[in-house]
Amino acid sequence: MPAAVASGDYIYAAGGNGPSANLLRYNPKQDTWSLLAPMRRRRDHNSGVVFQDKIVVIGGRYCDQGELNSVEVYDVKTNSWSDGPALNTARAGHGTAVHEGKIIVMGGEVFTGGTKTLADSELLESLSGQWQRGPAMPGALHGVPLVSTGENLYILGGSERAGAVVNQGRVFRFSRPQSL
């Protein structure tokens, strides 16, 4: 699964099954795809957001090398990539959103060193900063889409078993200011 984000008039898809280092741009007005500068690392089960006018691709997995803690930052204006601050915990299948001016990464799964799901989260305030510990999730989950409505952050579904697609259809809400 690739990371997908919207920026300006375009939709971008980074990484994906293979795993892939591709960055594709979709123009909905013309119904066309363009291949842009590839990421530095191939990855799938990664996530992405638009943050500080850049596309940020986070974590994921690379075949038998396992989960990644690396972060890559794409500059749309220069069609180039740079390294971002590495996550504290390598993870794949995690959820990511921009909430209250910060990137938040929640949950995920790890196959390296034993199969498990994660209940922790990490926050990033600036692309020049470092990831900080975020609020704990209500339980360990992967495959967790995150959505910020401005005031609230929602975790939609997720699976408690790594490698499994057992989505219970649950919704968890984190309200301001207690948790973030």
Q: How confident is the model at residue 104 (pLDDT cuts 50, 70, 90)?
A: very high
DSSP string over the chain:
--EEEEETTEEEEE--TTTB--EEEEETTTTEEEE-PPPSS-BBS-EEEEETTEEEEE--EEGGGEE---EEEEETTTTEEEE-PPPSS--BS-EEEEETTEEEEE--EE-TTS-EE---EEEES-TTS--EE-PPPSS--BS--EEE-SSEEEEE--BSSTT-------EEEEETTT--
Q: How confident is the model at residue 175 (pLDDT cuts 50, 70, 90)?
A: low
Q: What does the pLDDT average to over 55-68?
A: 92
Please state whether the predicted TM-score (pTM) of the whole model is above 0.85: yes
Cα within 13 Å of Cα(81), Cβ side: 17
Residue, of 97 and 112, whose pLDDT is higher? 97
Q: What pLDDT score does 79 carry?
A: 98
Positive or negative, the CA dihedral 1, 49, 120, 128 is positive
pLDDT tens digits, one per residue of 9-56: 999 999 998 889 999 999 999 999 999 999 999 999 999 999 999 999
| Domains observed in the chain | 3-175 (2.120.10.80)
| 177 pLDDT more than 50 | no
Q: What pLDDT score does 20 carry?
A: 93
Using alpha carbons, select from 22, 27, 24 the residue that is nearest to residue 10: 27
Range from 41-45, 55-59, 65-69, 168-172 carrying the lowest mean pLDDT = 168-172
Using alpha carbons, select from 66, 69, 146, 68 the residue that is nearest to residue 106: 146
Q: What does the pLDDT average to over 92-118?
A: 93
Q: How far apart are CA 65 and CA 3, in angstroms?
A: 19
Q: What does the pLDDT average to over 141-168?
A: 83
| 134 pLDDT more than 60 | yes
Q: What does the pLDDT average to over 84-103?
A: 96
